[in-house]
Structure 1
Amino acid sequence: MMPQPSPGAAPNPQAQPPAQQYPHQPMAAPPPALPPHQQWMMMMQQQQQQQQQQQQPAARPVPPPAGWLPQPVPPPVPSQVQQYPAAGPYSANEIKSLWIGDLQPNMDENYLFSCFAHTGEVVTAKVIRNKQTGFSEGYGFIEFASRAAAERVLQTYNGSLMPNSDQNFRMNWATLGPGEKRQDGGQDYTIFVGDLAADVTDYLLQETFRAIYSSVKGAKVVTDRMTGRSKGYGFIKFGDEAEQLRAMTEMNGRYCSSRPMRIGPAANKKTGIAQSYQNAPEQNGSGTHGENDPNNTTIFVGALDPSVTDDVLRQVFGQFGELHSVKIPAGKRCGFVHFVNRASAEQALQVLNGTQLGGQSIRLSWGRSPSNKQALVSEQAQWNSGYYGYSQGYEGYGYVPPQDPNAYYGGYPGYNYQQPQQ
């Protein structure tokens, strides 16, 4: 008869089964010095941890099928919602909501939840709808449990392909939480940023300035409506005028991505920005300005000094490419520069808009050939023209719609200055 081991004593090695009987689990046995009751407690703890993990929501790499309804409160742990209330005005460091635009009519709250549910940090999702029709206005807001979670989503998804769609995510920071209204009376101070590299996004531009100026409210890189590609310029919005003025000099020539930025003034209007969109008639590429018409190579030049002649315009604009014609109508403080190719005209418009010529800051926009009688309109008629004419609700969250800067400030087709007073 073999002696039995006393409690707590190490087991007899001869009593253990041969290792070769368990070739597939050579290290599965617990440490020899661990008492049996402690082994049992460890197994129970592992089972409890596995059960808790199974209760967590599974990751959804792709949107669920049609008809899927999310739970009213997506975060897995109710206490997370209590830790991050949605009430109260947010400072720049407390913003936890993202604006999302370019939504198709079928992209509702369920779709937004499904896109980001795997993060486990979505608090609310809201698609803004028309009060009369109930149809989506094409944009919405997603609030996350923390700013860090919102920042990860913005960096990861902005510009990437949306699930079950052929378009990309278009996202940015929301300057207010969902459900809040913007306080009237706040002044915004905006600067123009040109010569941007093609890979510069809203987020990259914003963070480049926010790292130095704490009052930065947002950034907008202007993109082509048809292709979605950057046009090489954008805007930075400040809440503090002193920082705006500092940035005008300190950031000029500083690199953002692979190119140095060109900083210029932009009109700072307290009210009426959003209204210019809602009231402006929509125009297509064949309209007065032809901004989307690849065959249009004519630049309208406004606010000309009386001393400027055709030859002066030809000398200034000719450095950007071959010119077809230059014309300043008699008695008008405006002119038309007709380039041979579109690329030269685009470059001249971006570089020269707002520069000094004859003691005056010239204002550029797309025009028609002076051979067209309809093109010889008054300067104010061109200034009062607007683009596109729809709003995506940016005004409620610190943004105006992400359209062409020719309508960005007050409906004037030149993005650097306010339209003249009558």
Structure 2
Amino acid sequence: MLILIHFTDHFHIFVGDLSPEVTDSALFAFFSAYSPNCSDARVMWDQKTGRSRGYGFVSFRNQQDAQSAINDLNGQWLGNRQIRCNWATKGANSGEDQLTSDSKSIADVNNNFTENAKQKSNEDAPENNPLYRTVYVGNLAHEVTQDVLHRFFHALGAGAIEEVRVQHGKGFGFVKYSNHAETALAIQTGNGRILGGKPVKCSWGNKPTPPGTTSAPLPPPAAPGHPAAADLMAYQRAIAMSKMASTQALMQAQHLRQAAMGMGVGASQAMYDGTFQNVGASQQQQQQLMYY
């Protein structure tokens, strides 16, 4: 028989398979972005090593929201892992999902949720700390690049973007904004939107920006097919073609000069001078084409 854990009019769910970098605040941001009725979140830590045990508990103000979170978020990506969600239970057959599997008792966990409820809303929480200005973006498709992620968040119109990073091959990245309010808006508007065929997961980055750090906003990204992007590509192709043509012409001139050495000094010099003039004309035409 499974008994749902339910203290102080709150309902708790178990969250397993957490990435090592997921903190209390990151877990709370993930579930509170899904439901405003999420009231608290705790990751279970090993007191000896200081490392995450790989699971935690999230509380909701009503049972329906907790059940919906279990149904909708089970198997979703948080960090670089797919999480498992179920009711927090106690019982003989609940296995890893039972609270008693940890050295903490049910009373200890309940105290964490109740006695520290006010602490959750103090300045240490990312959602209330103005030093947090970075969006963690998870569940990224493999083909998403920094340019693609920049265009995606620029289109949200949340504010001035200062930095975009993608951890290639790991499915997540970071977007840094100019201030805390813009970051919060980007998390709210970007979470769950489709990018590369997958819904992205937006939450607070787990590190605050050091006080006094200043950086300039990035220029707006050029969208694919935009004239600026097309002009840049054409310019780069013109440069490459010019360099290739010049190299080939000079190699041909050198080859002809060496071949003409057996024809006498006058003939050799005349052939070389004519070839060199042709090379100069070719280079001039390439430069005119490039600047045109």
Q: TM-score range by the shorter chain?
A: 0.3 to 0.5
Structure number with the bigger relative contact order (C-alpha 8 A, sep ≥ 6) is 2
Q: Which of the pair is proportionally richer in helix? A: 2
TM-score by length of 2: 0.34
